[in-house]
Amino acid sequence: MPAVASRPLDPRKLLLPRTTQRIALRRLSVADLPAFQAYRHDPAVGLYQGWSAQPDDDALAFLNEMATAQLLVPGAWCQIGIADKESNALIGDIGICVALDERTAEIGFTLSAASQGKGLASEAVIEVIALLFERTPIGGAVAITDSRNLPALRLLVNVGMRQTAVVSTTFRGEPCTEHEFEIRRPAD
């Protein structure tokens, strides 16, 4: 019987779940709706975020889409869950967009208020950056945050990102200053 040639696996499909000491990066699911809506409707959590709280029907459609969306498609944002490693309860999410030219990827992160200040977001961001460098050809990852979001600024510095720009812009109708950060692919 002739040997059947096997197709190489697409490395972008072998992404999740990924775990660290305390968190799991995993697909979002419709079962996450209560936790997702709880932190996404917290005004303090959403203050500097690019998203706005949604009605349950819209959030459910979004979670359903993200549950099966192809990840790391250049030019398309995808959202993955940050879950407690032991309970698998959703505590936040990370958005990722690989640039069309695949030179960089932008990340953005959200964590429930109860989970903040414990280093969990740092674990998640470090793991997402590692995933991006392992599974895409990008040369670097970038993140942008409002200058008033001091915890996010500290997190980006603490995970090894360096500030590359300060930009005056408008956010939700108000003038603001954004800080752009980048981390480059490690040299082999």
Which tens digits make up the pLDDT trace of 122-132?
999 999 999 99
The pLDDT assigned to 180 comes to 97
The pLDDT assigned to 119 comes to 96
The pLDDT assigned to 15 comes to 79
Helix intervals (H) in 12-141: 33-40, 43-46, 56-68, 120-135
The pLDDT assigned to 14 comes to 57
Which regions in the chain score pLDDT beneath 50?
A: 1-12
Cα four-point dihedral sign 104, 48, 170, 166:
negative
The pLDDT assigned to 168 comes to 96
- Answer yes or no: are the C-beta atoms of 96 and 72 closer than 8 Å: yes
The pLDDT assigned to 6 comes to 42
- pTM score: 0.90
Contacts of 38 (CB under 8 A, 6+ apart): 112
The pLDDT assigned to 159 comes to 97
The pLDDT assigned to 182 comes to 98
**b/e per residue 56-89 (b: at least 16 CB within 10 A):** eeebbebbeebeebebbeeeeebbbbbbeeeeee
Domains defined along the chain, listed by start: 14-184 (3.40.630.30)
Q: What confidence tens digit (pLDDT) does each residue in 170-188 have?
A: 988 899 999 999 999 998 7
